[in-house]
Amino acid sequence: MGILALLALVLSAGAALAGGSVGTAGGGALLRAEMDILGSAASRAWQSSSAPRAFDQIGGERLDERPDEIGGAGGEREDQETTGPSNLREKIKAGALSAVLPGAGQFINGQRTKAYIMGGAEVAIWTAWFVFDKQGDGHMEDSRDWAAIYAGTSGDHGDRMWQAVGRYMDSDAYWTDLIREARALGETAPGPPPTWQWVNNDRRVGYQGLRADGNSAYDRRDFMILFAVINRAVSVVDAVIGAGGKPGTLETEVLGMGLELGVVPSWQDPGARCAVTRNF
């Protein structure tokens, strides 16, 4: 059997060489004939270093391109992890700066007009806070001076005491109510309060008006804190939306997948979108 295979190989090789020139074409025909008779496992030419290149020229598969176990191309290759773009850090930075100082996040985002508007609003809010606080202190000081002149009060007292000065014409009436209240609650009767006596009811009403003006100023002062919170919230949201390469879009990577969240800040047609991508 071996002699017959060798004889067939010689005849086939001779026919291949006769049909083409000696060189690449002839070598390819010889390899094909050898593969047909002996098989790829027994061919010494197939196992040589130059055989894969020659066999590739006759339409065969190269050894380094044989499929691997999972169907991909053969040969070792390094796994390269591709990381998508992420603007999470820029958004956190812009939002944190705007939380500390409204407009700071817009400033680093390059939105100078918004930065000046929100920063100016913050300055105006706290300026108003101090103005209203000063007005309230002034009205309360005027009311105490008024009581000292027209009711004979003196000294520093708590706010409850100054409220009682406005409700009662004199200290005796206030003390009587305190004793009645303590008796109803089963408590020890308090000592006498500081003395005062209004000259007339109109002066007492004037005192109440001064205290009302002071309390109104304090209410406006406290209301400025709400404006400050709103201004910060708007500034933080706007800074986060405007930060990064794509304004209004958050790009990050979670568990190896690219996550993209988009917000459309519109009063008429608000919306949002979410896209998840995976790189292979």
> What's the helix, strand, coil split of the chain in %, to 5?
60, 10, 30
Cα–Cα separations (whole angstroms), residue 235 to 91, 107, 201: 12, 11, 51
Residues of the chain with pLDDT under 50: 17, 20-25, 46, 49, 51, 54-55, 57-58, 63-64, 66-84, 254-256, 266-268, 276, 280
**pLDDT attached to residue 89:** 86
Residue 127 has a CB neighbour count (10 Å cut-off) of 11
- Both 10 and 133 in one domain: the answer is no
Q: Tokens in use for 17?
A: 């060489």
- Both 108 and 238 in one domain: the answer is yes
- Both 143 and 50 in one domain: the answer is no
**pLDDT attached to residue 83:** 45
User: CA-CA distance, 125 to 225, in Å (whole number)?
Assistant: 8
> Is residue 45, in this structure, part of any structural domain at all?
yes
Is the full-model pTM beyond 0.85?
no
- Both 135 and 202 in one domain: the answer is yes
- Both 121 and 52 in one domain: the answer is no
Range of the domain at 219: 103-151+198-244
Q: Indicate the number of domains in the chain.
A: 2
> Is residue 25, in this structure, part of any structural domain at all?
yes
**pLDDT attached to residue 185:** 92
- Both 240 and 114 in one domain: the answer is yes
**pLDDT attached to residue 71:** 47
Contact indicator for 28, 38 with CB cutoff of 8 Å = no
Cα–Cα separations (whole angstroms), residue 23 to 17, 44, 53, 165: 9, 19, 14, 122
**pLDDT attached to residue 233:** 95
Using the 3D structure, point to which of 63, 84, 114 is the last residue of a domain: 63
Q: What single letter denotes the amino acid at residue 170?
A: D
